[in-house]
Amino acid sequence: MKTIKGPAIFLAQFADDQAPFNSLKSICEYMADLGYKGVQIPSWDSRLIDLQKAAESKTYADEIAGIVADTGMQITELSTHLQGQLVAVHPAYNELFDGFAPANLKGDLKGKTEWATQQLKYAAKASANFGLKSHATFSGALMWHTVYPWPQRPAGLVETGFTELAKRWTPILDEFDTYGVDVCYELHPGEDLHDGVTFEMFLDKVNGHKRANILYDPSHFVLQCLDYLQFIDFYHDRIKAFHVKDAEFNPTGKQGVYGGFQGWVERAGRFRSLGDGQVDFSGIFSKLSQYDFDGWAVLEWECAIKHPEQGAAEGAPFIDSHIIRVTEKAFDDFAGTGADESFNKKVLGI
């Protein structure tokens, strides 16, 4: 077995124009003081990193890594969640996702997809320049508007949708394979890859591509009423990244999974700061350790109630307390009798 690394933190929800969250150096110093040992960097945030430059210049990548290292931390993964979303967007969502791409691509669905695809390819090379083995992203969605089949989905729609999704992602996966980096899809509502079944359908379409993997985030499974512990039993071989995020689901006689168009505070299912929700993290860390996951435990803070600075401060010791230092010997070794083949045969009566 292997010991999970951490605690680490995803910087996306903390980056801001105000100090200390407005530069990579100062935000890393802040997080290191809280006890974090690693940072997952949102590659779209120019206050923290220039993704294209990190791909094209090993010197620049070394400078960025040095800034992080000087604070006593490491880069865990780069993230292209926003760019990955744009790899596949249904036209109905075109304008809604304009903010995820450069302003000159506003309203240009094809242009945003081409830009996003290139961004992912930059991320593959940049990850290699940083010596990273995993990358965090979203799959995008062509079929999300049909997730509840009313009106009835036309025959073959899902097959066609996953074929197209695979067509768009296969060149990206191949690029990541060139650099020895795993693409870890965060299975998330709003994405065509949002649970185990959809991941399997996609995996089939990309011919079991070894770089198509999973960013495991139990919070999204709580909100779907999915067994997030058994999920690890099914897919542990493909889990290559881990977001430690809490959530709760409290249905009432008025509201359930769909949330009734309410804001996050009023929803039956909502994200919470670590320890404030319902996720069984002891069970999760045990299973991931059992299956030799040795990646990073990365806090993704999202909560409609608690202040992010309090969430960050509480998150590091919470994760640290759940990381299991795996044992190198069996607990009952003290009662062992040693190896003796003739004695074993005697015990068996043979």
Residue-wise pLDDT for 179-227, tens only, equals: 999 999 999 999 999 999 999 999 999 999 999 999 999 999 999 999 9
- pLDDT score, position 340: 85
Omega into 7 within 30° of 0, i.e. cis?
yes
- pLDDT score, position 329: 76
Mean pLDDT of 133-146: 98
Mean pLDDT of 129-155: 97
- pLDDT score, position 334: 63
- pLDDT score, position 331: 67
CATH for the stretch 5-348? 3.20.20.150
Alpha carbon distance 107, 143 (integer Å): 20
- pLDDT score, position 338: 73
Q: How many CB atoms lie within 10 A of CB 282?
A: 11
Average pLDDT taken over every residue of the chain:
96
pTM over 0.75: yes
Mean pLDDT of 139-159: 97
Residue-wise pLDDT for 69-118, tens only, equals: 999 999 999 999 999 999 999 999 999 999 999 999 999 999 999 999 99
Residue 49 banded pLDDT, cuts 50, 70, 90? very high
H helices of the chain, in order, are 24-33, 51-56, 58-69, 81-87, 109-130, 157-178, 196-205, 218-222, 228-235, 281-290, 308-322, 341-348
Classified as helix, coil or strand, 306 is coil
Mean pLDDT of 328-344: 76
**DSSP state, residue 179:** T
- pLDDT score, position 160: 98
pLDDT(14) > 70: yes
Residue-wise pLDDT for 268-292, tens only, equals: 999 999 999 999 999 999 999 999 9
Residue-wise pLDDT for 290-323, tens only, equals: 999 999 999 999 999 999 999 999 999 999 999 9
Sort 329 into a burial class: Cβ within 10 Å, 0-12 / 13-18 / 19+: exposed
- pLDDT score, position 1: 84
Nearest Cα to 173, choosing from 240, 124, 112, 239?
A: 124
Residue 335 banded pLDDT, cuts 50, 70, 90? low
Sort 336 into a burial class: Cβ within 10 Å, 0-12 / 13-18 / 19+: exposed
